[in-house]
Copies of this chain bind each other. A is one copy, B any other.
Amino acid sequence: MDMVRPSAIRDLLALGADPSILSFGGGYPDAALFPRDLLQGVFRDAIADPSGDPLQYAPSDGLPRLRAQIAALMTADGTPTTPDEVLILQGSQQGLDFAAKMLVNPGETILVEDPTFLGALIAFAPAQPRYAAIPMDAEGMDLDALERTLAETPDARLLYTVPDFQNPTGATLSLPRRHRLIDLANRHDLILLEDTPYRHIRFAGDSLPTLKSLDTEGRVIHLGSFSKILVPALRLGWAVAAPPLLERLSLLKVAADTQTSTLNMAATSLFLDRHDLQAHIATLRAAYRRKKEVMLDAIRQHFPQEVTVTDPDGGLFTWARFPEGFDATAFLRDHALPEARVAYVPGGTFFATHPRPNHARINFSAQSEDRIRQGIAALGACLKDHL
């Protein structure tokens, strides 16, 4: 059982716990935006339910009512979905674990974006995969590169992608590439694992169609999550997939933990019955867009010219690129933390095959606008001192 550099990750997580450090590290939503009063009401009523059902065991696939509500959310988002195509998960992270468990034997290749979501590499690790990393540009995965890689790795069966506001780069897969990716999946017998935690945190324009909505042969496992649009603490995510895949995922769910928390499912279902999730999402979009602008303005003002950052259309992160030779891990340890008292996630850990240490992921959702200005100014001054 091989694992991804656990000590490095733990050390990073520990940073978030030091209250004297201003952290742009985690992917935390802003706690000030949590709909606390509404959650109070739905938890109160779920616990008070005279049947006691919200406190009891529940079906392993999830509460039927919540599966239907998620199917309706998916359908309204342009991905026609029936309730029996929805499996409730313990966060979408659980879907990453299941997909690798189901589709990847030790030594087989998973295709990932380069860079990719670190948590996915952690989830895939117990399946002991190899990786082929596909370069990213502003339109998402480079599909010419993917096609070359597919020719060289006939054992690749699973491709993992965050098509909307990717973690860590913020890039969104363009519409032509979405169509072409489906075509490549069909021709090369791939399963596409589409992870969409940030999809609804869009700052401008209309959503692009999900890969699932373009799927012609039942090859897409779509993962969604309430973590960024409601609260992370519920650990509520879902998979949508064609029946043969969903049935196997569903068996893994029974085996893994029997079910997701009944109470969290019941309260979330009440929330969706009573409250306007889209209105809440609109609030989040406006707030995170403002925070992104505050951060990018501050970066333009304070960072050295030779540091470039992405300007994502949504999500929680910007991705910084430092000059060649810059080691973002060493700089964090030696300067950013002790001098600027600011944290980010060094970019090296996001590369599945060849770490490029001159990158960093910087989160703009968790901190207040004032703290963003203050932290970026401190980090910028520190960079100017040492670059």
- Which residues of A are in contact with B by a Cβ distance under 8 Å? 1, 3, 6, 9, 13, 26, 28-29, 31-32, 34, 36, 39-40, 43-44, 47-48, 51-60, 89-91, 93-94, 97, 101-102, 119, 122-126, 231-235, 248, 251-252, 254-264, 266
Contacts and interface: CB of A to CB of B under 8 A. Distances in A.
Contacts of A259: 235
In the assembly, how many copies of this chain are there?
A: 2
A258 B70 CA distance: 22
Among A28, A123, A233, A262, the one with the most B-chain Cβ atoms within 10 Å of its Cβ is: A233
A97 B256 contact: yes
A122 B233 contact: no
Contact of A264 (B9, B53, B264): B264
Nearest to A235: B261
B258 A93 contact: yes
Contact of A34 (B39, B52, B90): B52
Contacts of A248: 1
Nearest to A45: B40
B55 A48 contact: no
A233 B255 contact: no
B44 A122 contact: no
A127 B34 CA distance: 40
A40 B34 contact: no
